[in-house]
Structure 1
Amino acid sequence: MYTQREMIRVAKLYYEKGLTQQEIAALENISRPTVSRILDAALQEGIVTFSIQYPIESVDDLEDELKKRFDLMKVIVAPVIIPEPSFILTDVGKLLGDYLHDLVADGDTIGISWGNSLTYAAKQLKQLKRKNVRVVQLNGGVATTAFSTGAMNILDQFAKAFDAQPYALSVPTILDSAEIASALLRDSGIREIVSLGREANIAVFGIGRTSYQSVLNLAGYFKQDEYDKLLQKGAVGDICSRFYSIDGNVSDEQLNDRTIGLHLDDLRRKKHTIAIACGEDKVPAILGAVRGNYFNTLFTDEVTARELIKQHDIAKTAEVQQK
């Protein structure tokens, strides 16, 4: 309807020169509603874009409470400005991006998982020139359905952010049998990637919850009855596709033997184990991971943080009463 030249001219008069829509209408000999429509068209065509730049102040009191209760090295809690998952994950991801920007040094190896939380975090990473940094996938990211795990995109964004060499674990994360998993791990290329993930001094991962809407289930790694059995065995969450119960123990050893990637025990030996998890529905998964000692640094939001403290205190009270 409007030419690109018209949209650019009206947009520059309005956004850069600061004229009102009425002044532009008089100058261009058009109606004020037409000016408004041209500005809307410029937005839709991407000629005009907006970026809201704002600092995110963490919630110090909640951070201190969580550090004390869970004996963690570092906790960062983002305030909830708009109570919608996408906004919350964007803000928490921004804080994680800032933290990694200060943390990553020359020669570091960063191990990463994939999933919804990491997708948001990867978008918030800042460019940082470092030497000899490597980024490696900690668990296989190839889906068995048309559903995309987004694993390769996350790896690419991390590698670009730190000018790093990427290492992809291009296999399904869960195989049909332990024998197939064992055979794949005998391949020298796969074995090298898994070994590199084990050596990584920094691990960044999301905490998944066991639900039928989880990325792992949607990616086709489970048959219906298999996921039912996993839930019956008390699995509350997963890290790097390894499932655990509320007490932090592996919930299904047979499933664990079919899984390709970093073992949960390996996380305990790393210097920086950085988890990102948001949402009250993830509280049991976070608590299980805390009890398993699978992370020492947590990024979350204030609503999740308050529920974590509440559920932790309820569990402690119940333990005292049982004694």
Structure 2
Amino acid sequence: MPRDALEDSDAFICEVCWHYFINEMTQAEVAQQMGVTRLRVNQAIRKARARNMVRIEIHSPFLPRIEMQEALRERLGIDVALVAPANRTPYNYHSAVGAALASYLLDQLREGKWRMLGVSWGLTIENAVRRMPLQPFPDLEIVSMLGGTSRGASFNTFAVASSLAERVGAKYSLLAAPVYLSESVDREAFLGQEIFEEHFAKFERLDAAILTASDVSPKSFLVEYGLPSEVTQAELEAAGAVGDVLGRFLDCNGQPIDHPIDDRAIGVPMDVVAKVPHKIMAAAGPHKVEIIRAAARAGLFNALVTDDLTGELLLADGPEEGDT
């Protein structure tokens, strides 16, 4: 395609608008990242407005990276891969994915197929919630899938489910429990309380679930604020952990590590997660590549929302084990 025609295409204009409006880059920064002149960027923004592609948000919610998405779908053995263009200077691994997740969720909710939606917590989901417009879905129930932390610096783990419910006009059920039980607490007795029995029963009826993942480092909110004081990052890594999904630390093959913390996590069991029909993993960042792969091997998601930088890293090595 001639360069002039390419730069007049909806795909080019959409990517320019994504960086300008969603990633909040200047026109000069967009031009530098995309290898075009600032004039071309300015023209693309004007064309987007003239074509009614941009209102308050980008009309085309995220730029389809068709080849990368298809490669990720095949590599990870999943049904859907959505790749958003990231702002790489400076790189924010929550913003672009959060915006793409918000748009994807709205599209799915408008189809009216979900009645019960499970939600984890994390900065990516919190970012998505903030970007979602108010919508009425009164037949929907948001179910929190993981206990929360009593401390933190960036967001309230217990508020994610209720905030999402407020945005989409839905009911919500909060898992009012710590993410990990104290060593002295009997797990069976704790979960035997009626309030938890009712909540855990809802996990079996989830139509969809929104998951996040993180590594075993201070970049992880869970590692920084949620681990019991007697559990260290070093011992989790020594046990083979590459990261966590829903508070369960997994090894590179997607198997739970051999560590007592696994029995102390309060949330939806992994075997129940695997049975949820629509499982959406929203995660990005170089430090999350290993845990995304591990979660895919474990069958913990069949839809991935990520960014192009992470997509490149997920595809950078050779084929996954079992690929031909």
TM range (shorter): 0.7 to 0.9
Counterpart in the other structure of 2:169? 163
TM value normalised by structure 2: 0.75
SS state of the match for residue 235, structure 1?
coil
CA distance, structure 2, for counterparts of residue 268 and residue 106 of structure 1: 19
User: Residue 64 and residue 233 in structure 1: after superposition, are their counterparts in 2 closer, same or farther (change >3 A)?
Assistant: same
Q: Name the structure with the higher helix share.
A: 1
**What is the aligned-residue identity percentage?**
24
CA distance, structure 2, for counterparts of residue 211 and residue 198 of structure 1: 32
Tell me the C-alpha RMSD between the 2 structures.
2.4
Q: How many residues align?
A: 266
Superposed CA deviations along residues 220-274 of structure 1, whole A, max 9, x for unmatched, are: 4233653321110111111111111100100135222111111112121011100
Counterpart in the other structure of 1:298? 304
The answer to whether residue 104 in structure 2 is matched with residue 92 in structure 1 is no
Q: How does 1:102-117 map to 2 (within 5 A)?
A: 102-104=107-109, 105=112, 108-117=115-124
Kindly name which structure, 1 or 2, has the bigger radius of gyration based on alpha carbons.
1
CA distance, structure 2, for counterparts of residue 178 and residue 78 of structure 1: 45
Residue in structure 2 matching 1:62, options 62, 68, 80: 68
User: Residue 265 and residue 230 in structure 1: after superposition, are their counterparts in 2 closer, same or farther (change >3 A)?
Assistant: same
Counterpart in the other structure of 2:136? 129
Counterpart in the other structure of 1:275? 281
Superposed CA deviations along residues 55-79 of structure 1, whole A, max 9, x for unmatched, are: 4312111100011112211000011
User: Residue 107 and residue 121 in structure 1: after superposition, are their counterparts in 2 closer, same or farther (change >3 A)?
Assistant: closer
CA distance, structure 2, for counterparts of residue 261 and residue 178 of structure 1: 18
Superposed CA deviations along residues 13-43 of structure 1, whole A, max 9, x for unmatched, are: xxxxxxxxxxxxxxxxxxxxxxxxxxxxxxx
Moved more, 172-181 or 287-296: 172-181
Q: How does 1:230-249 map to 2 (within 5 A)?
A: 230-249=236-255
CA distance, structure 1, for counterparts of residue 154 and residue 182 of structure 2: 19
The answer to whether residue 272 in structure 2 is matched with residue 266 in structure 1 is yes
Superposed CA deviations along residues 112-134 of structure 1, whole A, max 9, x for unmatched, are: 01112111121122333223210
Aligned partner letter, 1:113: S
Superposed CA deviations along residues 156-207 of structure 1, whole A, max 9, x for unmatched, are: 2210122111111111111123853322201111221222133211100111
Counterpart in the other structure of 2:190? 184
Unaligned runs of 5+ in 1: 1-50
User: Residue 307 and residue 106 in structure 1: after superposition, are their counterparts in 2 closer, same or farther (change >3 A)?
Assistant: closer
User: Residue 146 and residue 113 in structure 1: after superposition, are their counterparts in 2 closer, same or farther (change >3 A)?
Assistant: closer
Aligned partner letter, 2:119: I
